[in-house]
Amino acid sequence: MLNSNRPSALRINPPSIPPASFNPALNYLGESQYEADSLFNGRLEELFIYNYALSDAEITRLMNHQPPPPVVPISVTTSLAGNALLMSWPANYPGCRLESNSISLTAPGSWFTVFGSSTTNFMALPNNAATANAFFRMVYP
């Protein structure tokens, strides 16, 4: 039997203040700042704190026990050695990969992962002066 006094869908009201304006004095893990809220009844296995909202892909990576995104911007060092373009980046960025294309920076379907770049922090790529353009970017994950 259906109870007609019950709402058919749960309605959640948006917060009344923007999250950036919320500046609590005390922060707890498993305990609210309000006495009416119940305590967390469980165990925390891992804890990551970010200063931004994670994307769906980032949350999925964390659920699959893959490393969290790097916390500082990646710097890539480049140099030429003969007919090779040498590219390196800090070793503490596991899972980052080098992508390239020869169309344009804004051609979304033309980017491809440079083979082997996700397992190293150094690449020596052939440099062909006859090629008009070559674009590179670091991607995580």
| All structural domains of the chain with their residue ranges | 77-139
Read off the pTM: 0.50
pLDDT in tens, the chain (141 residues): 444 444 444 455 555 666 666 666 677 788 877 788 888 888 887 777 776 777 787 788 888 887 666 666 678 899 999 889 999 988 877 668 899 988 888 888 889 999 998 888 899 998 877 776 888 888 876
Q: Coil, strand or helix: which one is 30?
A: coil
Burial per residue of 70-91, b for 16 or more beta-carbon CB atoms within 10 angstroms, e otherwise: beeeeeeeeeeeeeebebebee
